[in-house]
Structure 1
Amino acid sequence: MDLLSLRCFQVVARHEHISRAAAELHVAQPSVSRTIARLEAELGVPLFDRRGRRIRLNQHGAAFLRRVDRALGELEDGRRELADAAGGEGGTVTVATETLLTLAGLLAGFRAAHPGVDVRLHQASADAMAERLRTREVDFCLVSRPLTGPALTSVELLREDVLLAVPTGHRLAGQEGVDLAALDGEPFITPSPGHWQRTLADRLFARAGVRPAIVCEGNEPGAILDLVGAGLGVALLPAMARDTGGRGTVAWARLAAPDCHRVLRLARHEDAYLTAAARRFGEFAVEHFAAVPGRHLALGSAAVSRPAVF
């Protein structure tokens, strides 16, 4: 077996879909199918269960994938380590985030401080981030909920209140301590399940026995502020969104819920090799968010200690 076959298997295993894997690998679908068939013949066991055009990783495939991930991860770490040894102030850091809004201020400062570092971004759901860290596709993930998995570690960057964004002129605009019961039946805009805002909203509303009327759910959290400003409904948004736009069309209120906040973390795989560029980014991110005013909970929480982990 060769590295191309192993990489092909890894991508097919992640997607459990031949055509999607072929698109990511930029090869023809029949070529992917032949590669997987040759690999299975060489190993002597099927790696996938097939039902018509659908494939599912079986127990043999899952066991083999763990080894492949480890082997390819070690090779990728070796490549990065040798590139690091060549020296220079450049290099590349790859970051995944749920919404690019979170990175805007951080990137402006980092690029000014380290103009030679190439930053590559991916937008991904929290569920996909652990996989990207495990396969070394990214160095870091900025995530608003804990990532679970072997060897995943994180440092807390900030805690901030989550506010209720409402259209200007709304009956709740500017209010403090809004009872959740006031949102019963209210038109509500939210990301789809899996996003941290949706998880938070579902928890708060279930606890209060409230059922807002979801009028929009999708996978573009960055568009929610504009939709609120357009009068479509109300939404839960982090405090930093208040400073990004919609000032003339969006007003804000605070819910009477002490746990209505988010914790932003910078996550990485502790066994992955961090290049000098990646370490600089991690250190800069911790310093950047530590210096942002008003980024601790306004509801009485103490300042968060930020250990150096890079």
Structure 2
Amino acid sequence: MELLQLKYFQTVAGLEHMTKAAEELQIAQPSLSKTISRLEEDLGVPLFDRKNRQLRLNEYGKLFLDRVNRIFLELNEGKREIAERSEQGQSQITLAVSIPRVLPELLSSFLKQYPDIKFQQVLRSTTSMKSQLEKAEIDFCISSVPIEGTDIVWEPLMTEEIYLIVPPEHRLSRREEIVLSEVKNDPFISMNTGFGFRNLTDAFCHEAGFIPNIAFEGDEPGVIGDLVRQGLGIAFIPEISWIHHTNPFPNKLRIIEPKCQRTIGLGWSKRRYLSDAAQQFRQYVTDYFSKRSF
């Protein structure tokens, strides 16, 4: 059994289509089909169900694919570790976040101590971050909901309160606190579907006995605040969003029922090799949040 056979199988299994897999691998389809057949002969079982030229990964194939994915993941991590140990690799940390507001001060203070470390940062939904962790494609993620999975570690960093902001002329604008059910008929301006914060606030509304009427969706708290100022709706805003904010959000209301909070945490995969730089960042993040009150 050769690595090339396993790579071919991994590609066919991902596409479940022999012609498309051959095109992606840039080899002749008959040659690819023979390679897969030889692999199945070596294993003594079929890996695909075949019907009318259609391929479907069967139970044996799914089990074997999981092992093959692990093999290539370990090989890739081995290459990364060797590059790090031989000083060929750059000191770069790959970070996915669903809460971009925490990054400017965090990264700025970290880079003052470690100016040679570079970051590759992406904004992702919770589902995407979990997938990237499971595939060991990123070093860390910072998310507002716990991420669970095989070999995934998620460490809580802080818990913050979630508030409601309303337009200046809103009927509740002079209040300091509310029961969430009081706004069940109001239009909401919300984060996009799929983001952890959206799932969390939808759950708050469900606990209060209603489904929110989403008038607008977005992915930037500052833009959401501007839409609220224009009177287009109300919005949930986490406490961290207005820390050091130069343009404070309007008419902040504390929600006394239900209890609206979220916990922010740092996640990583035990499968991914963490460089010295990555380990320094992990420790720094833990210390950073433990010393600050938000």
**TM-score, normalisation: structure 1:** 0.76
Structure 1 range deviating more: 37-46 or 182-191? 37-46
Instruction: Supply the AA of the counterpart residue of 1:257.
Output: E
Contact 1:197 1:237 (C-alpha < 8 Å) held by counterparts: no
Residue of structure 1 in register with 2:95 after alignment? 95
Give the Cα separation in 2 of the matches to 1:42 and 1:220: 52
Please state whether the residue corresponding to 2:289 is helix, strand or coil.
helix
Cα 1:87–1:117, aligned 2, differ >3 Å: closer, same or farther? same
Counterparts of 1:214-293 in structure 2, within 5 Å, are 214-218=214-218, 223-243=223-243, 245=245, 247=247, 250-257=250-257, 259-293=259-293
When structure 1 is superposed on structure 2, of 111-120 and 78-87 the one drifting more is 78-87
Cα pair distance change 1:252/1:85, threshold 3 Å:
same
CA contact (8 A) 1:76 1:136 kept: no
Structure 2: gaps of 5 or more residues: 41-45
Structure-1 separation of matches of 2:175 and 2:93: 42
Letter matched to residue 6 of structure 1: K
State the alpha-carbon separation in 2 of the partners of residues 233 and 172 from structure 1.
12
List aligned pairs for 1:80-229, cutoff 5 A. 80-86=80-86, 91-173=91-173, 175-218=175-218, 223-229=223-229
Q: Which amino acid aligns with 2:180?
A: L
1:200–1:257: structure 2 CA closer, same or farther, 3 Å change rule?
Answer: farther
Q: Which moved more, 1:156-165 or 1:239-248?
A: 239-248
Which blocks of at least 5 consecutive residues in structure 1 are unaligned?
Answer: 23-27, 296-310
CA distance in 1: counterparts of 2:143 and 2:12, whole angstroms: 23
How many residues are aligned here? 283
The 2-side partners of 1:51 and 1:122 are apart by: 42
Contact conserved, 2:180 with 2:208, CA < 8 A, in 1?
Answer: yes
Deviations along 1:86-142, whole A, 9 cap, x unmatched?
A: 359961111111142232221111122111112111221111222211222101111
Alpha-carbon distance in 2 for matches of 1:292, 1:11: 50
Instruction: Quote the Cα distance in structure 1 between the aligned partners of 2:280 and 2:179.
Output: 44
Select the structure of larger CA radius of gyration: 2
SS at match of 2:251: strand
Aligned to 2:7: 6
**Maintained 8 Å contact 2:110/2:284:** yes
Structure 2 partner of 1:43:
39
What is the CA–CA distance in structure 1 between the aligned matches of 2:272 and 2:223, rounded to whole Å? 34
8 Å Cα contact 2:208/2:258 also seen in 1:
no
Are the counterparts in 1 of residues 9 and 36 from structure 2 also a CA contact under 8 Å?
A: no
- Residue by residue over 1:183-209, the C-alpha shift from the partner in whole angstroms, topping out at 9 and shown as x without a partner, is 111110122333222222222222222
The structure-2 alpha-carbon separation of the partners of 1:247 and 1:59, relative to structure 1 and needing over 3 Å to count, comes to: same
Measured against aligned partners, the alpha-carbon deviations of 1:236-274 in whole angstroms (never above 9, x if no partner) come to 121011236473663311111353111011011123321
Give yes or no for contact 2:218–2:224 (8 Å, CA) kept in 1.
Answer: no
Render the CA deviation track for 1:12-71: whole Å, top value 9, x for unaligned: 83xx699xxx9xxxxx99325869955644534455889999x87653443233112211
Alignment RMSD, CA only? 3.6
Deviation string 1:134-169 (CA, Å, 9 cap, x unpaired) is 222101111111112111112111111111122334
- Output the amino acid matched with 1:225: G
Go from structure 1 to structure 2 and tell me whether the alpha carbon gap of 1:177 and 1:222 turns closer, same or farther (over 3 Å shift).
closer
SS of 2:79's equivalent in the other structure is: helix
Q: How many Å separate the matches in 2 of 1:128 and 1:241? A: 22
Q: Secondary structure at the match of 2:66?
A: helix
